[in-house]
Copies of this chain bind each other. A is one copy, B any other.
Amino acid sequence: MSTVALQAKALLIRAVECDQSGRILEAQTLYQDGISQLMDFVSDEPDEGKRKGFLVRIKEYMDRANAIKARINGRLALGEVVFHLSIEDNDTNCDYDQLFGKYMTDQTVEILIEEPHLTKNFQYQNLIRFLELAVTNCKDLKYLLLVTKKDVEDFDKQRTNMGQIKADLERRQITLYIKYEDTLHDRKIYLSNGYIIKIGRGLDIYKASNPMYSIGLTNYKYRKCKQTDVDIWRTSHTAGK
């Protein structure tokens, strides 16, 4: 087998493993990547018999990937609101930990973050603050899927930053997968323990500290907020707590 085929096989084996252990976000990504690599390989295969054999296998994996997609959509179907908060302009005491830290439990092994705008320094900083909370609270976190828009002005910088964040998490045995989706608008954070955090403004709820060197520069419970709504949903698949 060629290197490409071996890589595809390795990806698909890991996909099945993740699938079986309930890590469906990661399984979906692995299936997609594995199938895509296998397709490339098959189109180069001259032997028609072998090609047909591969196509049967690919079809099987596609069926599994579609089944997972249906399961993910089922998970993302909102259940009931367990917590609602309207943040008013200039409110304080809205650190991420204060708002939704208690929902980020050890049962969270996967997280999906849909955050359209990640191009400015404070937006990267908000992402890091969320990831620090995830690393602190979700001891068994394995996989993060981050969906965001491409930075049309400086995609190189965005790719570099994302690559560094990915490498940093890798050192903690957490896989970060970044998906660029240019039509993304809504903000959402799905935790695999079954909770979904929906904030109108996503992670971008804080005003800048003013003046810069003042209480609230680094401890966000003292930061003033922008007006937005926070809803925590519990889906039907909620685990533990």
A191-241 residues with Cβ-Cβ distance < 8 A to B are 211-219, 222
Query: What number of copies of this chain does the assembly contain?
Result: 2
Supply 15 A–B pairs (Cβ within 8 Å), ascending by A. Answer: A124-B213, A125-B217, A127-B213, A128-B214, A128-B218, A129-B219, A135-B215, A161-B213, A164-B214, A165-B214, A168-B214, A168-B215, A169-B215, A172-B215, A218-B218
Known: A124-B213, A213-B124. A219 touches B132 (CB 8 A): yes
CA distance A168 to B213 in the complex (A): 9
CA distance A133 to B221 in the complex (A): 12
Q: Chain A contact residues: over half helix, strand or loop, or mixed?
A: helix
A131 is an interface residue with CB less than 8 A from chain B: yes
A115-144 residues with Cβ-Cβ distance < 8 A to B are 124-125, 127-129, 131-133, 135-136
CA distance A164 to B168 in the complex (A): 35
Instruction: Find out whether the CB atom of B132 lies under 8 angstroms from the CB atom of A222.
Output: yes
Query: What is the total number of residues of chain A having a CB less than 8 Å from a CB of chain B?
Result: 26
Instruction: Find out whether the CB atom of B168 lies under 8 angstroms from the CB atom of A218.
Output: no
- Smallest CB–CB gap between A46 and chain B, Å? 46
Q: Which residues of B contact A132 (CB under 8 A)?
A: 215-219, 222
Residue from the list B131, B214, B222 in contact with A215, Cβ < 8 A? B131
Instruction: Find out whether the CB atom of B213 lies under 8 angstroms from the CB atom of A136.
Output: no
Q: Which residues of B contact A135 (CB under 8 A)?
A: 215, 222
Residue from the list B128, B164, B169, B213 in contact with A128, Cβ < 8 A? B213
Residue from the list B164, B172, B215 in contact with A213, Cβ < 8 A? B164
6 A-B pairs with the lowest CB-CB distances in the bound complex, closest first: A168-B214, A164-B211, A132-B219, A128-B217, A124-B213, A129-B218
